[in-house]
Amino acid sequence: MKKKNIIILIVLLAIGFAAVSTTLIINGTIGIGVNKLGFEGEVIFTKAETEVGGSATINSATKREITYVSKVLRNINETSTLNFEVSNYSRNYDAVVKINCIIDEENEYANYIKLEKDLLLNDGEETKDKYIIEAGERKQGYVKATLIKSYVGKETTSEDETDEEDTQSISITCTLNVEGTERDEIGNELIDELEEIDYFTYEDPETKTIVTGYTGSEKEITIPDGVIAIAANAFKNIDFTKVMFPESVTEIGENAFAGCNDLNSISFNNYKAGMSEYFSDLKSIKDNAFQDCSSLTEIDIPHGVTEIGANVFSGCTKLTIIYYHGDIQDDETIKSGSNAEVSRGEL
What does the pLDDT read at residue 120? 54
What does the pLDDT read at residue 218? 81
What does the pLDDT read at residue 121? 46
Binned at pLDDT 50, 70 and 90, residue 243 comes out as very high
Give dist(CA 346, CA 327) in Å, integer. 14
How far, CA to CA in Å, does 72 sit from each of 50, 65, 81, 257, 276? 12, 22, 12, 21, 46
Binned at pLDDT 50, 70 and 90, residue 308 comes out as very high
What does the pLDDT read at residue 55? 78
**CA 154 from centre of chain:** 36
Strand residue runs (E) in 183-209: 200-202
AA letter at 183: R
- Predicted confidence (pLDDT) at residue 195 exceeds the cutoff of 50: no
Binned at pLDDT 50, 70 and 90, residue 347 comes out as very low
Binned at pLDDT 50, 70 and 90, residue 154 comes out as low
Closest CA to 90 of 46, 39, 140: 39
Binned at pLDDT 50, 70 and 90, residue 274 comes out as very low
**CA 150 from centre of chain:** 33
What does the pLDDT read at residue 40? 64
Q: What is the mean pLDDT of residues 22-37?
A: 60
Give dist(CA 203, CA 231) in Å, integer. 8
Percent of the chain exceeding pLDDT 70 equals: 73
Binned at pLDDT 50, 70 and 90, residue 275 comes out as very low
Q: Name the residue with higher pLDDT: 275 or 55.
A: 55
Binned at pLDDT 50, 70 and 90, residue 187 comes out as confident
- Predicted confidence (pLDDT) at residue 9 exceeds the cutoff of 50: no
Q: Name the residue with higher pLDDT: 93 or 293.
A: 293
Binned at pLDDT 50, 70 and 90, residue 127 comes out as low
Residue 5's Cβ-count burial label (10 Å; 0-12, 13-18, 19+) is exposed
Residues 6+ apart with CB under 8 A from 300: 266, 268, 271, 272, 273, 323, 324
Q: What is the mean pLDDT of residues 220-243?
A: 92
What does the pLDDT read at residue 5? 47
Binned at pLDDT 50, 70 and 90, residue 10 comes out as very low
Residues 6+ apart with CB under 8 A from 241: 219, 220, 262, 263, 264, 265, 295
